[in-house]
């Protein structure tokens, strides 16, 4: 685990209950995460064709990196989402984003389900944003969702993200909306949310 990132978070949502985040344990969680990531509903993560070993290799690289960390999220004790925090000045976003001190990149994935719960993904992204801002040095979160991912654009807007520009990420092969959310915008947009 990279000690430069938060070690976890517990947040009580006023409507849905307790959400927790803790670092991914690759050996313990890889089969679960692989099942989520190869699901068609996870297509924007670009890992649907990965083998179990590919998934394990990916999460080992994240675990061993100085510039990113992955978290398994639970709701009422059940694993149901994944989050990543990363240093945007390292990796494929670097040429497209003028990183400021206090910037952190973020990815999240709600586990695919056939029985969606109203407000669940909003509660998930709110919890992940709370994790990012749990570090007092973080002032802004950066994301780069695929331009076609309408559901995530609505969620991002709901927690305070603003689209800065459209960029092409050659490594991922996607066109993305480079978007940012300051701590102040997050607090203003989600006022009244209980930790």
Q: Is the pLDDT of residue 125 over 50?
A: yes
- pLDDT tens column, 33-70: 999 999 999 999 999 999 999 999 999 999 999 999 99
pLDDT at position 4 is: 67
Instruction: Give whole-number Cα distances, 152 to 54, 56, 66, 122, 147, in Å.
Output: 25, 26, 27, 10, 9
User: CB of 68 within 8 A of CB of 86?
Assistant: yes
CATH architecture of the domain 9-189 equals 3-Layer(aba) Sandwich (3.40)
Q: What is the pLDDT of residues 157-188, one digit of tens each?
A: 999 999 999 999 988 889 999 999 999 999 99
């Amino acid at each position: 685990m990279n000690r430069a990132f938060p070690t976890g978070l517990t947040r009580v949502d006023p409507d849905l209950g307790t959400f927790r985040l803790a670092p991914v344990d690759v050996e313990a969680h890889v089969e679960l995460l692989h099942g989520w990531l190869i699901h068609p509903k996870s297509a924007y993560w670009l890992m649907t064709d990965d083998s179990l070993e590919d998934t394990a290799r990916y999460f080992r690289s994240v675990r061993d990196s100085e510039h990113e960390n992955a978290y398994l999220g639970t709701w009422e004790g059940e694993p149901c989402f994944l989050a990543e925090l990363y240093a945007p000045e390292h990796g494929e976003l670097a040429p497209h984003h003028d990183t400021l001190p206090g910037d952190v990149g973020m990815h999240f994935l709600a586990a695919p389900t056939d029985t969606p719960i109203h407000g669940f993904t909003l509660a998930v992204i709110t919890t992940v944003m709370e994790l990012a801002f749990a570090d007092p040095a973080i002032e802004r979160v950066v994301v780069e969702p695929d331009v076609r991912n309408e559901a995530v654009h609505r969620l991002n807007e709901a927690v305070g993200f603003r689209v800065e520009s459209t960029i092409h990420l050659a490594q991922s092969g996607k066109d993305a909306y480079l978007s940012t959310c300051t701590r102040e915008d997050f607090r203003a947009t989600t006022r009244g949310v209980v930790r």
